[in-house]
Amino acid sequence: MSKNCYAQFSNNFLKLFETGNNFDLILHAGDQKDRKEFKVHTQILCAQSTYFQAALSKKWLKKKGDCYIFEKTNIEADVFEIILRYLYTGEMNIKNCDVPQILKLLVATDELGLVDFLQFARNYLLESKDTFIIEQPGRVLESIFRLESCKKLRLLCINAICNNYASIFDDANRYLTLEKDIFALLLQQDNLCMKEVELWKYVLRWGKSRHPELKPSPTEWSTDDVNLMKKTLAGLIEHVRFFTMSAEEYYDEIRPYKKLFSKELREKMLQFITIPSRKPNDVCTMARPRARLLDSKLVGHSIAAHIAGWIDSRKTAYAKIPYEFTLIYRASRDGFDDIKFRNMCSNQGPTIVIAKLVDHPNIFGGYNPSQWPAYSRPYGLYSVVPEGVCTCICEVDDGSFIFEMSDGKSTKEARIGRLNPERGYHNNRYYHSTGPAFGSNFYILGRAWYSNTSKCNCYAMVCSITSGTLEEYEVFTVKKNN
């Protein structure tokens, strides 16, 4: 017969930690701002951690009276307290920690060799805080970049940045604090959805920020200035894909900085710009295009990542989008014409419709998981019908949804409405052609937008605006990537 007394033992050791009875070590954690003193026991720390077995060797410790003194100023006091409680009780309790604190905990447990706690904190971050990771991937990446045990988390951050480069490359200039190794890794990503010439500008700004004494124009740089920038940008320039740029971009943005490149590379770039058919064979990386940018005037790539998540009923955006969104109709280009919409979008498979009204920032849209029929076979959606013909069939398709967001840059205030199974069938009372329409929740007639809230709604959401004039609307096919 046996009995497990772990809980009682854990409580006893917790009391020992909190009271400090019979302590033989004073541990100072944190810097001067948050410095804290812990009265602890060397035998417990050494029994639990190989790091402390080495660090608390008597020959390395200072002694004050009957106690030894140990300084650990690079780990914040509140983080160290969580670790000490774990070493005394075996309990990994981080439920009240915010993400920045967990990131510091990851770095600290890695340094202290506490593998089990590190893995626990990492998995908690991946499973419970993925929204923070998607929204602030740069902050997470900078914290865990050099932790070998966080490769999955690192990849998630990289993919999130590639999907939404504005999370780092923005007006706040957050990219300027990136370590060169991190910046270089981002430049190597094929799925970094960003124009190459813009990337080059960011590389230059990053380099110039390290040397604020440099004159603004490269024509004013001395030989020493040029050599200084060459050294600073070494490891970055070779990852910029110059051979995907246009002749105009080369002339305006590359040529003024030609002294930063080797004579051989300058010659190859000039050859490619003047004779594109003679692309050099030994510059395959610099010539390989990146992932195609979302061709939209209304939303950015990060919004597409959220829409892809909604398609698959995820609570968060994808870090790496598993779909290809191809523009097949843009009203400002192809005309605000319902017949043109029908001709260009019918029988194209699943589609996303995105729309914006004049003088209003909100973005509206909907997903049709089936296809737009040429005539009267709607699938949870109004279809285009000949004048005088009424379509009254609205088949229930659980995959369809509509959405509204405050602008095309963020989904923080987004609302999504999925098909209401109890109200999925709704009579179409319009006797003329329409553009894309999603039940009575919203539909388009020429350049007019309507959301009829007086009728039974097919979707579990009502748009905030009942009518207006369209500034733009776009239709994209949605295809799963191989």
- β-strand pairing of 36-40 with 25-29: antiparallel
Contact 465, 339 (CB under 8 A): no
Strand partners, 69: 26, 62
**Looking up tokens 């967001």, which residue turns up?**
405
> How many residues in total does the chain contain?
482
Could you say which of 3.30.300.10, 3.30.710.10, 1.20.810.10, 3.60.20.10 is the CATH number of the domain covering 1-91? 3.30.710.10
- Mean pLDDT of the 351-362 span: 91
How many CB atoms are located within 10 Å of the residue 307 CB?
26
Contact 441, 417 (CB under 8 A): yes
pLDDT of residue 334: 93
Backbone angles phi, psi at 146, to 5 degrees: -95, 10
Residue scoring higher pLDDT (211 or 440): 211
How many whole angstroms separate alpha carbon 225 and alpha carbon 14?
60
Burial class (CB in 10 A: 0-12, 13-18, 19+), 239: middle
Residue of 415, 425, 473 lying closest to 448 (CA atoms): 473
Q: Is 16 helix (H, G, I), strand (E, B) or coil?
A: helix
- Per-residue pLDDT of 275-294, as tens digits, reads 877 766 665 566 676 767 78
- In one letter, which amino acid is 94? I
pLDDT of residue 456: 52
User: pLDDT tier at 102 (50, 70, 90 boundaries)?
Assistant: very high
Q: Which residues contact 172 (CB under 8 A, 6 or more apart)?
A: none
- Mean pLDDT of the 12-31 span: 90
pLDDT of residue 354: 94
If phi over 0 gives left and psi between -120 and 50 gives alpha, with beta otherwise, what is residue 359? Answer: left
Residue scoring higher pLDDT (52 or 302): 52
- In one letter, which amino acid is 153? L
- Mean pLDDT of the 349-365 span: 91
- Mean pLDDT of the 325-331 span: 94
pLDDT of residue 34: 85
Residue of 213, 145, 204, 144 lying closest to 169 (CA atoms): 204
User: pLDDT tier at 430 (50, 70, 90 boundaries)?
Assistant: very low
User: pLDDT tier at 389 (50, 70, 90 boundaries)?
Assistant: very low
How many whole angstroms separate alpha carbon 440 and alpha carbon 213?
62
Per the structure block, which two tokens stand in for 416? 């999504």
- Mean pLDDT of the 432-451 span: 77
Q: What is the DSSP letter of 382?
A: B
Report how far apart, in Å, the C-alpha atoms of 357 and of each of 201, 217, 298, 324 are. Answer: 33, 42, 11, 26
Report how far apart, in Å, the C-alpha atoms of 295 and of each of 250, 329, 424, 470 are. Answer: 23, 11, 32, 19
- β-strand pairing of 437-438 with 415-418: unpaired
Residue scoring higher pLDDT (224 or 393): 224
- Mean pLDDT of the 260-274 span: 87
Report how far apart, in Å, the C-alpha atoms of 190 and of each of 58, 162, 209, 240, 268 are. Answer: 52, 9, 26, 11, 22
pLDDT of residue 135: 80
In this predicted structure, the answer to whether residue 256 has a pLDDT above a threshold of 80 is yes
User: pLDDT tier at 468 (50, 70, 90 boundaries)?
Assistant: confident
User: pLDDT tier at 318 (50, 70, 90 boundaries)?
Assistant: confident
**Looking up tokens 């010539």, which residue turns up?**
287
Per the structure block, which two tokens stand in for 219? 């024509």
Residue of 382, 364, 353, 366 lying closest to 476 (CA atoms): 353
Please report, for the chain, the start and end positions of each structural domain, with discontinuous segments joined by +: 1-91, 169-287, 301-480
Share of the chain above pLDDT 70, in %: 86
Per the structure block, which two tokens stand in for 344? 């260009």
How many whole angstroms separate alpha carbon 306 and alpha carbon 304?
5
How many whole angstroms separate alpha carbon 89 and alpha carbon 7?
9
Q: What is the dihedral of CA 292, 298, 299, 304, to 10 degrees?
A: -70
How many whole angstroms separate alpha carbon 384 and alpha carbon 386?
7
Q: Which residues contact 399 (CB under 8 A, 6 or more apart)?
A: 311, 367, 369
Q: Is 160 helix (H, G, I), strand (E, B) or coil?
A: helix
Per the structure block, which two tokens stand in for 171? 């007006």
Residue of 140, 397, 120, 17 lying closest to 27 (CA atoms): 17
Contact 445, 451 (CB under 8 A): no
pLDDT of residue 287: 63
In this predicted structure, the answer to whether residue 75 has a pLDDT above a threshold of 60 is yes
pTM value is 0.72
